[in-house]
Structure 1
Amino acid sequence: MSTTPPPSRSLTSDTPPEADEHIADDGPFGWLRALGPQGRRAFAGAFGGYALDSYDYFTLPLSMVALAAYFGLDSGQTGLFTTVTLVVSAVGGAIGGVLADRIGRVRALMITVVTYAVFTVACGFAPTYEWLLVFRALQGLGFGGEWAVGAVLVAEYANSRNRGRTLGAVQSSWAVGWALAAVAYTLVFSFLGDDLAWRVMFWTGALPALLVIWMRRRVHDAPQAAARREQSARKGSFAEIFTRGTAETPGLLRTTVFASLLSTGVQGGYYTLATWVPTYLKTERGLSVVGTGAYLTLLISGAFLGYLAGGHLTDALGRKRTIWLFALLSAICVLTYANIPSGADTLLLVLGFPLGFCMSAIFSGFGSYLSELYPAAVRATGQGFTYNTGRAVGAVFPTLVGFLADGWGVGGALVFGAVGYALAALALLGLPETRGTELR
């Protein structure tokens, strides 16, 4: 069954054929109406895929303390789980991007969802630490490709006026999946012993299979973008995103290098926090399962609103200004959060909201920004490579925290997250502003 309906309009139009060109795209949900019926289904597929991607990812950080006790692991070994996942995700992102440019966005999206679901479930059956590490690495293949493919799918339906808020809304599904994982963690670990609870958490990762069944029938690639991609002889060319170019025809090498550095900085900071905050709250702050869940509620609520607010700001202020703003605010929040004095648990609770808000809002412009930096034939290839290379290199940050935590404490080692945000701010100096770009 084809996932790309035939185009019915001029290929120069930026408006999907399913959408009505005269639909007003103002108001709180104007961006959603403007997508048209097919675009809204694509949005739902990408939103659901990324939410479940997030859910499957967070099954590990939330279960980290139980895993360490079950397998007798130190902080360095547990930190290696995240590093392996993120390093392999770079491979998955590159493969997923190339597939999306060659066989279509929707088909590639379904492959990535099935991959991360299967290997998340497999983690629950791991008999040893080594097997769990292998399964978690393989889960990274699907985890790496899903976001880039889904973001490009929706970006090609959205118009230039509100592409930022549309992709910001897709990005907000990460907080939704995180919240679902936190709820599942609270319930599972409250009613089951730790030795079984961590396995059950991984087994619930089978949920994405239901989404794939729906997507198979209901979601299609944006027709104009698909037709333009099919007409290119260089579609899905990995070498193309590393071309140096000439004075007359600029290449993509500079874009790829600086976009990868940008992703490295932002994700190094983010995954440091996402991986270690649950452990920090439980081991150094002495919170119970329920107490940790309460603190995470504020953090995740801030994250959800941050994604939405960041999406609107990236359309209003521009891609680069928004990322610069939240890089600064995120660094300040990390340093403050990691140095809250002992006993000030109320302050810890209150600061969880702005921490979640800032470290998530910075991601809102990524979907639109990376899509606008590359032409249709290699759009998913470029986005998949740069975003997931950032994940892989940024994985060094949570690993450093893991190895330094034994001496510095988790809270003290979290300051490395601020270094990542500084790197992101510097990387923007080598990239253009793309607000208002038509995806032609």
Structure 2
Amino acid sequence: MSIEPTAARATAAAALLARVERIPLTRYHLRVASILGVGTFFDSFDALILSVALTAVLTTLGAPLSVAGTLIAVGYVGQIAGAILFGVISERYGRKAAFVAASALFGLLALASAIAWNVESLMAFRLIQGIGLGAEVPVAATIFNEFVRARARGRIVLVYESLFVWGILGATLVGALFLSVFPPEDAWRWLFVISGVPVLTAVWAHFRLPESPRHLIHRGDLEAATEIVEAMEASARRGGRILEEPHKPADLRPEPPTRFGELLSRDYRGRTLALWCIWFTTFLPLGGFTSWMPTLLVRVGHLTPAVASLLTGGIVVGNLVALYVSASSLDKLGRRFWFAAGYGLALAGSIGGVLLGATGWVALFVCGALVLFGVNINAPLAYLYTAELYPTRMRAWATMVGSTMRNLASVIAPITIGLLLGAAAGVVWSFALTAAVLLIGLLVMLRFGIETKQRPLEELAK
């Protein structure tokens, strides 16, 4: 619970925040990012592994194809519950505690999934695993945001978030390798064993991950926060980095205890609803086309599975290029510009898919790639942007609840697009639905989006 500071402690807390804002990127930041990044990488790795090895899983467990959608969706249901549960834990007991617990739960249940004996047991393991999986990336994004100064926060955090896309690429490559080297009935089990790495990350984080200094300041533990800030400054000096004189400390108002309904209070309702719309309209196209693109290239484009997999891997590489281009100018051009660019690029692909009818694999590939390039700019940006728009007392909670829109979209998208594809001209209707969703997101961002570039978190929260 937040401890209301005296005037002297409030001044000391404000001075500490001013010191955080003068520290450039150091080895200390890289250590934090490396610990958190393992979780971010394996979040997407694990999510895609099931899709990559789905046929082998169903064959081994003697399950029909009809249960595939439920098997995939059950993990996202767990993620919705996990985001809410660990959102509370993160605000009550700290970011570090939430990250360690989520990583341990995620990793242990991945290992349990490797020994599943039937599809029912695998569903149960994936449901529980989703509770940890749904918390890991949002809480990691919150922690890293709170360590980085305003001047370069967009570029640094977005490059860190690119590990999520690397996880997708890793799952594609490692999955293909294991399925070609091991018998199918063994390959998927070994893939889940690899997904259990976050168990080790939890141990590593317990001993080496520092608590967010901003969270410590909010809780009134200025001594622990000072120790962390001094370690960050020492790391900068050892690296030969120049520490500027601290800016004039901001007016730090005492923060009340976290009130979880405050997201929809008068002060934050507009931000919250706009962000939920951005999350949903970004991840519905992302979830749909990520799940169905390889199948579309085979069924509609009449390509072989090997060629379809290769082209899908090419799209992931393109996603990384688009993400790094946006990160390089995010702190100059701003969040609103790149959200609009991401929506615009994805919208162009969707409209192209409608007009061209996605006839032939070339049109399908180009239009689908444009959709994925665009939404893969906006997806990591959503984590950064959400964490910027709320005060410390509710930053993790807001990011966690926002991410439930991602999970909801990830449940709805594959099912909806799958139903559309069963109809005549189903590909056209899929692109039309995507276009409508993206247009809504673009209009909401242009109307209600707040520019956050190079502004301290405490200033943005007011």
Q: Note the 1:344-423 alignment, pairs <5 A.
A: 344=361, 354-408=370-424, 411-412=427-428, 414-415=430-431, 416-423=433-440
- Aligned twin of 1:243: 265
Q: Contact 1:118/1:206 (CA < 8 Å) preserved in 2? A: yes
Q: Identity across aligned pairs (percent)?
A: 21
Specify which of 152, 174, 181 is matched with residue 191 of structure 1: 181
Q: Quote the Cα distance in structure 2 between the aligned partners of 1:240 and 1:332.
A: 37
C-alpha distance in structure 2 between counterparts of 1:394 and 1:289, whole Å: 24
Match of 1:341?
Answer: 359
Q: Deviations over 1:334-385 (max 9, x none)?
A: 454684433x45x666667655432211224223311121101111001110
One-letter amino acid of the counterpart of residue 12, structure 1: A
- Give 5+ residue unaligned stretches, structure 2: 1-8, 222-253
TM-score when normalising by structure 2: 0.79
Residue correspondence of structure 1 range 126-141 to structure 2 within 5 A = 126-141=116-131
Q: Write the distance in 2 (CA, Å) between the matches of 1:82 and 1:13.
A: 48
Residues 118-155 of structure 1: per-residue CA shift (max 9 Å, x gap):
22333333333333333222222122111111111111
Cα distance in structure 2, aligned partners of 1:67 and 1:410:
28
What aligned pairs does 1:150-161 form with structure 2 within 5 A after superposition? 150-161=140-151
Partners of 2:160 and 2:18 lie apart in 1 by 18
Deviation per residue, 1:87-107 (Å, 9 max, x gap):
332221122222222222122
CA 1:407–1:139: 2 relative to 1, 3 Å: farther
Could you tell me how far apart the structure 1 residues matched to 2:393 and 2:102 are? 20
> Which residue does the alignment assign to 1:29?
none
**Match in the other structure for 2:444:** 427
Match of 1:267 among 262, 268, 283: 283
Higher helix share: 2
Match of 1:73 in 2: 65
Please, which moves more after superposition, 413-422 or 161-170?
Answer: 413-422
**Does the aligned pair in 2 maintain the 1:14–1:438 contact within 8 Å?**
no
Greater radius of gyration (CA): 2
Cα RMSD of the aligned pairs, angstroms, is 2.9
Match of residue 213 from structure 2: 223
Structure 1 Cα separation of the partners of residues 219 and 436 of structure 2: 38
Query: SS of 1:202's equivalent?
Result: helix
Counterpart in 2 of 1:436?
454
Q: 1:267 to 1:423 in 2, by over 3 A?
A: same
The change in CA–CA distance for 1:199 and 1:390 in structure 2 (over 3 A counts) is: same
The count of aligned residue pairs is: 411
Q: Name the residue aligned to 2:14.
A: 12
Q: Using a 3 Å threshold, how does the CA distance of structure 1 residues 277 and 235 change in structure 2: closer, same or farther?
A: farther
Q: Using the TM superposition, name which of 379-388 and 252-261 deviates more.
A: 252-261
1:56-94 CA-partner distances (Å, limit 9, x unpaired): 1111121234445552123xx423334333333222112
Output the CA distance in 2 between the equivalents of 1:422 and 1:115: 38
Partner of 2:234: none
Alignment partners' CA distance in 1, 2:220 and 2:47: 33
Distance across 2 between alignment mates of 1:426 and 1:53: 30
Which 10-residue stretch deviates more, 388-397 or 149-158?
Answer: 388-397
Query: Equivalent residue of 1:436, what SS?
Result: coil
Structure 2 counterpart of 1:361, one-letter code = I
Please, what TM-score do these two structures have when normalized by structure 1? 0.83
Match of 1:119 in 2: 109
- Match of residue 293, structure 2, among 269, 273, 277: 277
When structure 1 is superposed on structure 2, of 263-272 and 295-304 the one drifting more is 295-304
Gaps of 5+ in 1: 1-6, 24-33, 245-250
